[in-house]
Chains A and B, each alone.
Chain A
Amino acid sequence: MSPIDAHAAITRAHHEEWARVVASLAKRFGDLDIAEEAAAEAFATAVERWPADGVPPNPGAWLTTTANRKAIDRIRRENKRTDKHREALMLTDDAPPEPLGAIDDDRLRLIFTCCHPALAMEARMALTLRLVGGLTVPEIARGFLVQESAIGQRITRAKGKIAAAGIPYRVPSTSDLPARITGVLAVLFLVFNEGYLATGPDTDPVRADLTAEAIRLTRLIRELLPDDGEVAGLLALMLLTEARRPARVSAEGELVPLAEQDRGAWDAALIEEGHRLVRERLDSGAAPGRYQLLAAINAVHTDARDARDTDWSQVVALYDQLVRLDPSPIVALNRAIAVAELDGADVALAIIDRFGDALHGYHAFHATRAELLRRLERREESHAAYDRAIALAGNTAETAYLSRRRDELG
């Protein structure tokens, strides 16, 4: 076995087995700190041993066994306080199976624990990326442009609250599941969006590592909850969005709007998979939720060979459904963009100006206004709206695009 093969096997095992190893240890020892550190030690041991000894036939089992031993060593070392419960767990793992939640999977318990509603959203994101995704603290800090120490503290505090407040390590009951899965999906969608439209003056406009991680974790959730329509919807939404990534930023570092993107550069395999998921949801006949509708809208966009071929009436109809579920000003704004294509810029402008107060601080509102005013040849107002949008936009590629558009007005 060459060291390169062993290395590839470790990388693969890290992707596929990390969450499983952490989750099974968390269940056995009831302590996220021990689970995480023992899992990290097991992978470090693999890095030492696999290149010399060869990759074990069942890497997951090898990692779990090794991590279990590491955890026991650690508990013995730290055994200052007598902890009978933990001692018992160390000796034997034949505890009677707990009553099953809606789904019995250690990884799912781990995800629901990390995304518990009693934790701050930022803590949920950091904890999910660390414990479920296996990202290191520096990787997470890079992803969110936050100091490593801040991410470290966020994770430590969240783990502390889980232990001290008695946040349970379990899958919610069937009746709580829909409400709780919504929170999990919100965390994953935030991670994805932070990757897709990264904020900050010194950052890449797109963080492919974060979008890839969000997709990977959503695939995991889908594997665990295959019948949940919104899980499928979110995965489809992410895939159809991610598919456009290669065409989204120009060589000059400018954001390229959907209508001007080179559709040949879109990832056909991701689009195909996204469309398949959207069709599967349509065929189910169940009423679609928010993510399914957003995925369907993206399916219409990615279905058109050319921007001019876009079925705008279909897009508006889907937005109409979405407005009924989520009457927020942001949804109304996005709907208006589609309305502009169907009924004209003046109609769209009248719609969005109704939401001026609510969206005053949102860059996309001013950017949309600027484009609509431009089409209506109201140059000065358009210029002012671009100025406002540029001042509020946090994404470098977007700022570059808006600046060029404004300067073209003369």
Chain B
Amino acid sequence: MQYLVSVIHDKSNSGTAEEARAIDEFNDRLRAGGHWVFAAGLADPSTSTVIDSRGEEPVFTDGPFIESKEHMAGFWIIDAPDLDVALELMADGSKACNRRLEVRPILVK
């Protein structure tokens, strides 16, 4: 199964060099274990744009679709046989990036 792991944080681009190093090491472990699919950090939510093309003309709106104190600051997509494995892996991931994480299954077709 694949899981989307969101990094929860209230600041953007606030990672330290030490955290970056820890994340690199953790990612190497994910790759070695065959769990790695993709990961990335995200720019500040103020840089996002919401698109609504359900009407005749597309409408573009500045800012994220929801305002909240915390936002998704980055993400992983990982492959794990079940939730226990995903949680065990990402418990280390949370330690490495020094942030809270949300683990959410990606729908299986």
Contact = CB atoms under 8 A, between A and B. Distances in A.
A166 B82 contact: yes
A251 interface: no
B87 interface: yes
B50 interface: no
16 contacts: A116-B83, A118-B83, A118-B87, A165-B83, A165-B105, A166-B1, A166-B82, A166-B86, A166-B105, A167-B82, A167-B83, A167-B84, A168-B82, A168-B83, A170-B84, A172-B84
A118 B80 CA distance: 16
A164 interface: yes
Nearest to A112: B84
A170 B1 CA distance: 17
Contacts of A170: 84
A164 B87 CA distance: 15
Interface string B68-109: 000000000000111110110000000000000000110100
Contacts of B1: 166
Nearest to A172: B84
A176 B82 CA distance: 15
Contacts of B86: 166
Interface in A86-123: 116, 118
A26 to B, nearest CB: 15
Contacts of A165: 83, 104-105
A165 B81 CA distance: 11
- Residue among A118, A164, A165, A170 having the largest count of chain B Cβ atoms under 10 Å: A165
B47 to A, nearest CB: 31
A166 B81 CA distance: 8
B33 to A, nearest CB: 16
A166 B82 CA distance: 5
A118 B90 CA distance: 13
Interface in A110-169: 116, 118, 164-168
A270 to B, nearest CB: 37
- Residue among A168, A170, A176 having the largest count of chain B Cβ atoms under 10 Å: A168
A375 B86 CA distance: 56
Nearest to A173: B84
Closest CB pairs A-B (n = 4): A168-B82, A166-B82, A166-B1, A166-B83
A164 B105 contact: yes
Interface string A164-190: 111110101000100000000000000
B5 to A, nearest CB: 13
Interface in B37-79: none
A168 B84 contact: yes
Contacts of A166: 1, 80-83, 86, 105
B3 to A, nearest CB: 8
Given A168-B82, A168-B83, A168-B84, 10 more contacts: A116-B83, A118-B83, A165-B83, A165-B105, A166-B82, A166-B86, A167-B84, A168-B81, A172-B84, A176-B84
A168 B81 CA distance: 9
B58 to A, nearest CB: 33
Contacts of B82: 166-168
Nearest to B2: A166
Contacts of A176: 84
Nearest to B1: A166
Nearest to B105: A165
A19 B87 CA distance: 27
Contacts of B87: 118
A118 B84 CA distance: 9
Contacts of A172: 84
Contacts of A168: 81-84
A11 B104 CA distance: 41
A172 B82 CA distance: 12
Nearest to B80: A166
A164 to B, nearest CB: 6
A224 B1 CA distance: 31
B2 to A, nearest CB: 10
Contacts of A116: 83
A195 to B, nearest CB: 31
Nearest to B87: A118
B84 to A, nearest CB: 5
Interface string A47-81: 00000000000000000000000000000000000
- Residue among B80, B84, B86, B107 having the largest count of chain A Cβ atoms under 10 Å: B84
A165 B80 CA distance: 11
A118 B82 CA distance: 12
